[in-house]
Amino acid sequence: EAGVAQSPRYKIIEKRQSVAFWCNPISGHATLYWYQQILGQGPKLLIQFQNNGVVDDSQLPKDRFSAERLKGVDSTLKIQPAKLEDSAVYLCASSYFGLAGVGNEQFFGPGTRLTVL
Amino acid sequence: KQEVTQIPAALSVPEGENLVLNCSFTDSAIYNLQWFRQDPGKGLTSLLLIQSSQREQTSGRLNASLDKSSGRSTLYIAASQPGDSATYLCASPFGPASKLTFGTGTRLQVTL
């Protein structure tokens, strides 16, 4: 079974530029998550999709971050314009179900390391 | 609000030792608890998931326990190897949705 795929693996941009990250979840997984992990911290959820609908985007800085999952499969996360504090690893995860009570297990991709100069 | 704490932040042990990593959470009404491993520059690898109705889960040399009443989970690693060196994170869903709240991790180094 193929895992969660992400690209690119690394990205270096200057502040105020825009950047996009792509994620392809495990086949058949209805739920997709984007997390931001700042160095030395645990991951923080940015947005959760159930199929192509948004379940939770309460911690997404909507003035600069956007995400979509148009066909309910792969997803794109965009930052425009980027700030220095956006430097982090952006992790994509997927799970079969979207409810914790169903014993949901999340599987993570390798992440995209973003450096904003 | 669920808060997850991991102690110690870093741990160094010689090869062959058994060790325990600790995870504490503030909201005992958790649905499950998941342990992950993260290698430098890599994503997270799921190690074990313990349902709220379970007390422990085992996979190879790893054993994770869950005590909801005390708000604690432990990850036991038997006969540690240099390949076990990584950061170990625990996480629990915040509410019925599956958004995970993570601890800050324990960085483990197993020396020869």
Tens digits of residue pLDDT in A15-44:
999 999 999 999 989 899 999 999 888 999
pLDDT tens digits, B13-26? 999 999 999 999 98
CA distance A11 to A113: 6
Q: How far apart are CA B56 and CA B48, in angstroms?
A: 9
pLDDT in tens, B89-109: 999 886 666 678 899 999 999
End-to-end CA distance of chain B: 41
- Record: contact A108-B102, CB cut-off 8 A: no
Of B32, B45, B105, the CB nearest to A42: B105
Length of chain A as a residue count: 117
pLDDT cut 70: percent of chain A above it: 94
- Decide if A98 and B89 are in contact by the 8 Å CB cutoff: no
Residues of A in contact with B34 (CB under 8 A): 105-106
Instruction: Give percent of chain B above pLDDT 90.
Output: 70
The identity of residue B37, as a single letter, is R
CA of B66, closest CA in chain A: separation in Å?
14
Cα A17 from Cα B12, distance rounded (Å):
41
